[in-house]
Structure 1
Amino acid sequence: MPDTPSPETQTPGKDTEPEATPLLAPADGVPPLAIYPSDIERAATLLASGTGPFAIDAERASGFRYSNRAYLVQIRREGAGTVLIDPVNHGADPLATMAPVAEVLASDEWILHAADQDLPCLAELGMTPPSLYDTELAGRLAGFDRVNLAAMVQRLLGLHLVKGHGAADWSKRPLPADWLNYAALDVEVLVELRAAVAAVLEEQGKTEWAAQEFEYLRTYIAAPTRRDRWRRTSGIHKVRNPRALAAVRELWTARDSIASRRDIAPGRILPDSAIVNAATADPDTIEKLIALPIFGGNRQRRSAQVWLDALARARTTEDLPTSSDPQTGPPPAARWARRKPEAAARLEAVRAGLADLSQRVNVPSENLLTPDTVRRLCWDWQPVPDTASVVEAFLAEAGARAWQRELTVPVLAQALETAASAEASQD
């Protein structure tokens, strides 16, 4: 375990950051947007002429579109500069159009900030990294209080990166010039940022931890999409009646079908709050439906029959949900004290131990172990003779990396044994 960095050796925090130099435009100007296959081939050739890792970013249209596809890809490489690529409207085979770039990108490390957000949409374009460096994740491991790109660029490079279009509708065409300037700046200093944060991790003795995290992220395969995604409807906890839960499910499913077909974000079709409200009120006529908030608008009036049909299906279905919970693991921790007090005591002890460890190694608790892994361990735990080896096996099965297990197994074992002793003394 590395020594806890002293205040003198830690990178200055937000209260001591030097005055930043504004970074308003790329040093070489905003490159032309590669739109056509011939443009994309030239971009690939240009990238191939450079050396070293690739700084990469992608812009999506979250909140506007149903899909999570990339609507712009930005890539920068030493000796080649920056390229901006429009990956849409390439007919039936966009992978073939993007293949020249994907081939070049397979030749060296990728540098991304918050890679888990961009890797899936880049993979849809046939682009996968041979190795990976995530500067946001590196910042978390370094114990930085703020890890967004602008904050880290200011902290480590002394530059002020102006943000402003990250939440824009990047499916818009043509893309405005100021948006392209913003997009190019997102990769302008990623290579330098990688070097700076890597130096901090090296000083803290965390380089190997980061390498394990990056490789896990690079090779991670997401679980199949759950069938009961409707249970994540905001405000569903207010719905208790099984028939009303069925109405939430039917309304959500109808909305999802429309959103998928039209490639529009579901919330722009019908807000979650309207789904919960209609499921609770259960109107059975158009007049009653449009009297509810949201449903009285012109757009919702045109779709009124769709929502009424969904509510009618909920009234007749025999497949009634029994709970709004996904039922895929332990219940929310707030309920443990009532339902399983011994598990609540274990969780409290484990959380206290991890919080202390987090302070000692200057890494957030959630990066030491995912909260879900901690809850599952504490909920199902049964005392065993060799606590440490069983915990080790559990964490390995849950996907915890070697560095995480090395740090947390002794802490977890001690906490679980202490909780078991306290429980036994009360019997």
Structure 2
Amino acid sequence: MIDYTMISSDEELVKICNKLKTKNQIAMDLEADSMHHFKEKVCLIQIADDTQNILIDPLSITDFSPLKLFCENPDITKVFHGADFDIRTLERDCNIRIHNLFDTEIACRFLGIQRRSLAALLKKHFNLCLDKRFQKTDWSKRPLSDEMIAYSLNDVLNLIELSRILKKKLEDCGRLAWAREEFQLQTLVKHDNNSSAPLFMKFKGAGKMSRRGLAVLEHLLHVRMDIARQKNLPLFKIMGAESISHMATRRPVTFAELKKSKALSPKQMGMYGEKCLKAILDGLAVPTEELPVYPRKKAPDVAPEIPGRIRALKEMREDMSKRTGMEPGFLINNAMITTIAMASPGSRQELLEIDGARKWQMDILGQEIINILNICA
């Protein structure tokens, strides 16, 4: 069994954070319960350095301020693999931000590494095979089994050494400063509240529905959310998006029609059929003048030279992807290409002033972009 220290009280958290603040670098990871409960929460925080392994039980902690001070200390590097979820979760549940991040997944992107899952990287560099049996486990359950503890610790045990390997590779190819810029931008992401009205704004395919369809969809989504909240289950365990979309589009108004539509399973029909039918009827009863409207941005007028610029910029991106080994969509995405084509900046400085532009992107692509825009003016 891997040696570790379990932190399950505010007093223990204070002590361990006082010890950790002397470190230069630590590895971190989180486990949550999104597959099992309506309101997802962080259920375990794993930390490792060169000498110790720590598990923090956030379900037993009431004051996260010592961990907040530690995580926001810019003198200590926090190593994560694919930190986006972790950063959003810590901000949502603990009001904690991460300062001084090293993200091994992002580092791999700058190195052109295609197979960059943690399991693939640990196999490649340390010949270790991760046991992923507990990926969908309910981490809110207590006590944690020995197998669950070992699984959670294995995600951080080798992260520091992996970060050193990747950092050296980044230094050797002159891309460490680029990666650090992206690490910093990653620390700024925030939790997105998906339960704010109108709910259809977060539903895939809603933009293609009629206004009447949106009204029905909104009522169905509220019914699903209310049931999920009452049962303390994630939304997908109540009704899948496909079922909701089917009902909002077909809009059956009787049990016979709902059953014939096969939008719900027989079990779901028994549990939720009546509520779904009421939601559909309520949506159909919304007065025409009160029907919701899916907000759409008016497409800007496109000058005739814009499509040619976009094509040329995409061709350049493909060429630079081959030359750098970095994936095209990571080098620069289609939305940014379109923005640049329409803005037609005349200098690198003007490029950098475009919202969302990275300095590292302009280091790689800036002059090429200016050259293309001059030719396609």
Normalized against structure 1, the TM-score is what?
0.76
Residue deviations 1:215-247, cap 9 Å, x none? 12223456776755524534557x644322332
Is 1:72 the counterpart of 2:72 in the alignment?
A: no
Q: What is the correspondence of 1:236-275 to structure 2 with a 5 Å cutoff?
A: 236=206, 240-260=209-229, 262-275=231-244
Structure 2 counterpart of 1:99, from 65, 78, 89: 65
Q: What is the correspondence of 1:190-269 to structure 2 with a 5 Å cutoff?
A: 190-221=159-190, 227=197, 230-234=200-204, 236=206, 240-260=209-229, 262-269=231-238
Equivalents in 1 of 2:297, 2:167: separation in Å?
38
Is 1:277 the counterpart of 2:246 in the alignment?
A: yes
Gap change, CA 1:314 and 1:343, over 3 Å in 2: farther
Is 1:116 the counterpart of 2:84 in the alignment?
A: yes
Q: Is the 8 A contact 1:54 1:109 kept in 2?
A: yes
Structure 1 counterpart of 2:367, from 392, 410, 415: 410
Equivalents in 2 of 1:418, 1:309: separation in Å?
60
Gap change, CA 1:105 and 1:240, over 3 Å in 2: closer
Q: Superposition RMSD on alpha carbons, in Å?
A: 3.2
Equivalents in 2 of 1:285, 1:138: separation in Å?
55
Deviation at 1:353, TM superposition (A): 1.1
Residue deviations 1:30-64, cap 9 Å, x none? 5254334344445435535x632121000122333
Structure 2 counterpart of 1:396, from 353, 362, 366: 353
Deviation at 1:328, TM superposition (A): 5.0
Residue deviations 1:150-204, cap 9 Å, x none? 2122333443333332233323333332121110011101110110000000011
Deviation at 1:414, TM superposition (A): 3.5
Structure 2 residue identity aligned to 1:86: D
Deviation at 1:400, TM superposition (A): 1.8
Gap change, CA 1:409 and 1:109, over 3 Å in 2: same
Is 1:44 the counterpart of 2:17 in the alignment?
A: yes
SS at 1:111's partner residue? strand
Equivalents in 1 of 2:40, 2:132: separation in Å?
21
Q: What corresponds to 1:85 in structure 2?
A: 56
Structure 1 counterpart of 2:337, from 360, 374, 377: 374
Structure 1 residue identity aligned to 2:317: L
Equivalents in 2 of 1:104, 1:56: separation in Å?
12
Gap change, CA 1:307 and 1:129, over 3 Å in 2: same
Unaligned stretches of 5+ residues in structure 1: 1-24, 421-427
Structure 1 counterpart of 2:270, from 285, 293, 301: 301
SS at 1:83's partner residue? strand
Equivalents in 2 of 1:340, 1:229: separation in Å?
36
Corresponding pairs, count: 371
SS at 1:397's partner residue? coil
Gap change, CA 1:199 and 1:65, over 3 Å in 2: same
Residue deviations 1:272-324, cap 9 Å, x none? 1111111122122334334432534334423333222221222122343556x
Structure 1 residue identity aligned to 2:68: A
Q: Is the 8 A contact 1:346 1:416 kept in 2?
A: yes
Equivalents in 1 of 2:27, 2:250: separation in Å?
51
Q: Is the 8 A contact 1:295 1:301 kept in 2?
A: no
Gap change, CA 1:248 and 1:172, over 3 Å in 2: same
Q: What is the correspondence of 1:309-324 to structure 2 with a 5 Å cutoff?
A: 309-317=278-286, 318=288, 319-321=290-292
What is the percent sequence identity of the aligned residues?
24
Q: Is the 8 A contact 1:54 1:110 kept in 2?
A: yes
Structure 2 counterpart of 1:188, from 126, 143, 157: 157
Normalized against structure 2, the TM-score is what?
0.85
Unaligned stretches of 5+ residues in structure 2: none
Q: Is the 8 A contact 1:330 1:376 kept in 2?
A: no
Q: Is the 8 A contact 1:235 1:272 kept in 2?
A: no
SS at 2:354's partner residue? helix
Residue deviations 1:360-380, cap 9 Å, x none? 2222222222333224444xx
